[in-house]
Amino acid sequence: MSFAPQIARRRALAILGAAAGFPMWPAETGAVPTWDWNGDALGAAAHIRLCHPRADAAEAAAATCVSELRRLEAVFSLYRSDSELCRLNRQGILRSPSQDMVLLMDAAQRWGERTAGAFDATVQPLWQLYAGHFRRRPDDHAGPSPADLDRVRALVDYRAVDVSKSAIRFVRPGMAITLNGIAQGYITDRIVQILRNAGMDSALVSTGEIAAFGRRGDGGPWRIALDHGFGAIGQRQLRNEAVATSSGAATRFDAGGRFHHLISPRDGRPASAVAAVSVAAPGACDADALSTALFVTPPERMDTLLRAHPTASAVVRLADGRTVSLPSDQGDSR
Amino acid sequence: MPVRSVLVCIWMLLALAGAATASARETVSPELLADVFPGAARLGPIEGNPPAATAYDAARAIGFLFFSHDVIGSIGFSGKPVDIAIGLRLDGTIAGARLIEHHEPILILGIGDPVLHRFVAAHRGIDIRAPVTVSRAAARDGVPDAVSGATVSSLLMREAILRASRAIARSRGIVVPAGAQSVVDRDRFERREWPALRAEGAVAQMRLIGSDVLQRLEQGAGGPVSVTAPRDSLFIDLYAALATPAMIGRNLLGDRIYADLVSPLGDADHAVLLAANGLYSFKGTGFARSGTFDRVQIVQADRTLRLQASGHRRIESLAPGMPSFREIGLFVLPAASGFDAAAPWRVELLVEGQRDDGRPQYANFAFEYRLPPGLLRRAAAVPDAIDPSALWQQVWRDRAVRIAILTAALVLLTVLLFMQDRLAHHSRLFRRLRFGFLVFTLVWLGWYAAAQVSVVNILTFTQALLTGFRWDFFLLDPLVFLLWTFVAVALLFWGRGVFCGWLCPFGALQELLHRLGRALKIRTFRPSFVLHERLAAVKYAVFLLVFALSLNLTDLALATVEVEPFKTAVARRFDRPWPFVFYALALLAVGLVVERAFCRYLCPLGAALAIPARLRLFEWLKRKKQCGAECQVCASRCPVQAIHPDGHINPNECIHCFNCQMLYYDATTCPPLKARRERREARSAALAQRQGALQGP
Residue B520 Cα distances to A114, B3, B413, angstroms: 76, 9, 30
Q: What percent of chain A has pLDDT over 70?
A: 84
Contact A246, A228 (CB under 8 A): no
Low-confidence ranges of chain A (pLDDT < 70): 1-30, 228-235, 249-257, 329-334
User: B146 and A110: CB-CB below 8 Å?
Assistant: no
**Closest-CA distance of chain B to residue A279, Å:** 17
**Closest-CA distance of chain A to residue B386, Å:** 24
Question: pLDDT digit string (tens) for A219-238?
Answer: 778 888 777 666 555 667 88
Q: The dihedral of CA B553, B559, B563, B568: what is its sign?
A: positive
- CA proximity to B365, closest of B243, B242, B249, B227: B227
pLDDT given for residue A255 in this prediction: 63
pLDDT given for residue B405 in this prediction: 93
Q: How many residues does chain B have?
A: 697
**Closest-CA distance of chain B to residue A171, Å:** 18
Measure the CA–CA gap between B567 and B574, rounded to whole angstroms: 8
Contact A312, A265 (CB under 8 A): no
pLDDT given for residue B589 in this prediction: 93
Contact B319, B253 (CB under 8 A): yes
Measure the CA–CA gap between B461 and B471, rounded to whole angstroms: 10
User: A99 and B103: CB-CB below 8 Å?
Assistant: no
pLDDT given for residue B349 in this prediction: 97
User: A58 and B134: CB-CB below 8 Å?
Assistant: yes
Q: Nearest-CA residue of chain B relative to A12?
A: B147
Question: pLDDT digit string (tens) for B535-555?
Answer: 999 999 999 988 888 776 555
Low-confidence ranges of chain B (pLDDT < 70): 1-27, 77-79, 104-112, 138-155, 175-181, 379-391, 394, 464, 467-470, 472-473, 476, 552-558, 693-697
The shortest CB-CB distance from A36 to any of B134, B155, B222 is to B134
How many other C-beta atoms lie within 10 A of the C-beta of residue A163?
23
Is the CB of residue A110 less than 8 Å away from at least one CB of chain B? yes
Contact B527, B535 (CB under 8 A): yes
Is the CB of residue A199 less than 8 Å away from at least one CB of chain B? no
User: A103 and B295: CB-CB below 8 Å?
Assistant: no
The shortest CB-CB distance from A206 to any of B75, B146, B299 is to B146
Question: pLDDT digit string (tens) for A168-178?
Answer: 999 999 999 99
pLDDT given for residue B18 in this prediction: 40
Find which of B141, B217, B352 to mutate to test the A interface (most A CBs within 10 Å of its CB).
Answer: B141
Measure the CA–CA gap between A99 and B292, rounded to whole angstroms: 12
pLDDT given for residue B217 in this prediction: 92
Is the CB of residue A78 less than 8 Å away from at least one CB of chain B? yes
